[in-house]
Amino acid sequence: MSDAIITVNASGLSCPQPVLETKKILDKNPSGRVEVLVDTATSRENVARFAENRGWKAVKEEREGGYKVVLEK
What digits encode the pLDDT tens for the residues 23-72?
Answer: 999 999 999 999 999 999 999 999 999 999 999 999 999 999 999 999 99
Q: What is the pLDDT of residue 4?
A: 87
- Enter the pTM of the model: 0.93
- Whether 8 has a pLDDT exceeding 90, the answer reads yes
CA distance 63 to 1: 28
What's the total number of domains in the chain?
1
Whichever domain contains 35, its CATH number is 3.30.110.40
| CB burial readout 11-33, b (16+ within 10 A) else e | bebeeeebbebbeebbeebeebb
Q: What is the domain range of residue 65?
A: 5-72
Q: What is the pLDDT of residue 2?
A: 54
Burial of 6 (0-12, 13-18, 19+ CB in 10 A): middle
